[in-house]
A and B are shown apart, each in its own frame.
Chain A
Amino acid sequence: MSDVAIRVDGLGKRFSINSRQESYQTLRDTLANAALAPFRAVKSLATNNDDGPADHEDIWALRDVSFEVKTGEVVGLIGRNGAGKSTLLKILARVTEPTEGSAEIVGKIGSLLEVGVGFHLELSGRENIFLNGAILGMKRADIKRRFDDIVSFAEIEKFIDTPVKHYSSGMYLRLAFAVAAHLEPEILLVDEVLAVGDAAFQKKCIGKMEEVAGEGRTVLFVSHNMAAVQSLCTRGIFLHNGSISTDSTAAAAISAYLRMLEQSVSQDLLHRTERRGKGDIRLAKLEISTGATDRSQTLATGRPAVFVFHLTNMRPRTSCIFTIYDDFGQPLATFNSAVRGPEDAPDPALETALACYVDELPLVPGRYRLNVAISSDNELQDHIEGAAFFEVEQGALRGRAVIKGKGYGRVCLQHHWKLPV
């Protein structure tokens, strides 16, 4: 038997931008267009000019992607949002069709693009296990056989006959993941489902994934969590702008990805093309410094930090949300200007900028990056991943030295001890 589990050959997927933003049309417009078409044709003949560029433009979300995965390999797919990871997974899961190319999958596929698909709030936990299991492709007999395992994995024995609308969000996610975790496919396609639930549950999920990987099953795993990719995957594929940029070991793919993120930082923010949002307001410049007195660029643990976001223009009710990530892509903290605190104040000197002040930076020495989102009136205007990188040097938090130690967390908290004499 051939040991190739997945073979992808020149796969490509095209979206038209038109159909991306407003995916559906109305029959009314289509009929009206059809009725007016002859008039337009006559008009363009008469004026003898083209109507300029076509009113929709095509984007290749995925282009010319080829690779093979051997049975038993655990492959991490990494890349930015919009790099094509999820599109690739969706094609392999047969949710959407490719525009060109082909793929061949040998073995029983289980795809987990989201946990809890098809869950119905009115139905009980028991009913949802059967429904969701069937949706994920399990046979009724299999679900019955594994029912007790699923319930105990989810830790919801007492509530199994309660409608899931009465579940806490944690219970809901545990149940959803439990069903998925008991699929027994030969090939598993997973999309970022581990990023749910509390830490203990995440650990359990990762454990389950390790178990699956250890059983010699083939796994294709999309994640933004570099730590998870590093520890789970034997191989990494880094997708960039819809094609494979690096296909190597997990470590090599991760470092290629991080290098790309850093390189794009050197670009002028306005020249960055990989951004989402409406675009009426855009992030033009991002300044990170230690504050007004000494405008040092180098941040240090326990020292002040100021993040200044310069926008192209300003509108009322514009807010800025940014998140600090560690170098493994783990989010550490989010800041949101729309949520007001008593110390927030207007500053006439800012004009089209927003500034965020952190009095004592509670991050251990290391490298961090920022994702920034700008919105106005609850509408996303701009979103840039990896808008900036910054380095934190060794320092002290209220006089207590903070030492970097691998695996002991990235955040430090102000604290004190009481000790015996």
Chain B
Amino acid sequence: MARPTSTALKGNRDATQIVFIKPSKGWVSLDLKTLWEYRELLYFLTWRDIKVRYKQTFLGAAWAILQPVVSMLIFSIFFGRLVKVPSDGLPYPLFCFAALVPWTFFANGLNQSSNSLISSANLLKKVYFPRLAIPLATVLAGVVDFILAFIVLLVMIVFYGVRPTINIVWTPLLLLLALVTSLGVGLWLSALNVKYRDVRYIVPFLIQIWLFSTPVAYPSSLLSEPWRTVYGLNPMVGVVEGFRWALLGANTAPGLMVLASAAAALIILITGALYFRYMERTFADVV
């Protein structure tokens, strides 16, 4: 019965939009088209996250810098000075700060996006829009924090007299890799978090384990070749070593390792997005 009308109307679809509502079954497409249609909402959600973050926090922008800087100081004292961890011939503070800047971006994005659906519960219950926009906006908002910390990193590079090479042009791509990883894991965890509320207790623990399995405080050159590439399956390994190589000219051209990281990150993102879409239909009822 419904068919004839809808096909008749398809002709002037520009003028009239038709929405079909029916139960969805099984796995569904990512529907990136709808997400694109809602790009203004994505922009506003990101903008809100940024505005609120810098309005609410007493320290404001300082917080974005303080977090990686304090970690760097602690790492430099304990790992650099006391344990004397090798640092690929670079000054240890610079060595670990170049890793902490993308790491902090990743960890904050992961942490905040995994809680993003719960904290937007009211939105989920009352308005329709592609739900992917919520964790995506959260991760994107972290880019501002990243830029602030990155400026500090550039200052440190000048201070230590390191001459950046042309490889610096790869930085945006490496940031993208960190973003993809953060979002991918964030999608998994945010969707799980709606269903299983104890996921949020796992997140800090996960981040801690992940930090120590990523060469932030130590170099991946401790491993020899076939194993370095395998190590790259942790996408943050590629990001962190990539940053050191692109900015500090560390003699550790990441090559295969970064490719492994990129592949792993993409798999996490795609499976995360699919799982998210699969769970999406229940969000409004459960959250």
Q: Which residues of chain A have C-beta atoms less than 8 A from B197's C-beta?
A: 24-26
B1-22 interface (Cβ within 8 A of A): 1-2, 5-6, 8-9, 16-22
In the complex, the chain A residue whose C-beta lies closest to that of B286 is A23
State the interface size on chain B (CB cutoff 8 A): 47
> A245 vs B107: C-alpha distance in the bound complex, in angstroms?
54
Q: Which of B5, B45, B51 contacts A123 (CB 8 A)?
A: B51
Chain A residues close to B by CB (< 8 Å): 1-2, 4, 7, 9, 15, 19, 23-28, 30, 90-109, 111, 113-114, 117-118, 120, 122-123, 127, 130-131, 134-137, 139-140
Chain B residues close to A by CB (< 8 Å): 1-2, 5-6, 8-9, 16-24, 40-41, 43-45, 47-48, 51-52, 55-56, 122-129, 192, 194-199, 202, 281, 284-287
Q: Is the CB of A131 within 8 A of B55?
A: no
- Least CB distance from B163 to A in Å reads 43
- Would you list 29 pairs from A and B whose C-beta atoms are within 8 A, ordered by A residue? A4-B5, A15-B285, A19-B285, A24-B287, A27-B198, A93-B128, A94-B21, A95-B125, A95-B128, A97-B23, A99-B23, A101-B22, A102-B20, A102-B21, A104-B5, A104-B19, A104-B20, A106-B5, A109-B19, A114-B122, A117-B123, A122-B52, A123-B48, A127-B48, A131-B48, A134-B41, A135-B127, A136-B127, A140-B40
Q: Which of A19, A100, A108, A120 contacts B286 (CB 8 A)?
A: A19
> A96 vs B23: C-alpha distance in the bound complex, in angstroms?
10
Q: Which of A24, A104, A140 contacts B196 (CB 8 A)?
A: A24
Q: Which residues of chain B have C-beta atoms less than 8 A from A92's C-beta?
A: 21
Chief secondary structure at chain B's binding surface = helix
Q: Is the CB of B284 within 8 A of A28?
A: no
Interchain Cβ contacts within 8 Å, total number: 135
Q: Is the CB of B52 within 8 A of A105?
A: no
> A315 vs B220: C-alpha distance in the bound complex, in angstroms?
66
Q: Is the CB of B51 within 8 A of A118?
A: no
In the complex, the chain B residue whose C-beta lies closest to that of A163 is B55
Q: Which residues of chain A have C-beta atoms less than 8 A from B2's C-beta?
A: 7, 9, 102, 104
Q: Which residues of chain A have C-beta atoms less than 8 A from B124's C-beta?
A: 95
Q: Is the CB of A105 within 8 A of B198?
A: no
> A128 vs B45: C-alpha distance in the bound complex, in angstroms?
11
Q: Which residues of chain A have C-beta atoms less than 8 A from B43's C-beta?
A: 134
Q: Is the CB of B23 within 8 A of A106?
A: no
> A24 vs B286: C-alpha distance in the bound complex, in angstroms?
6
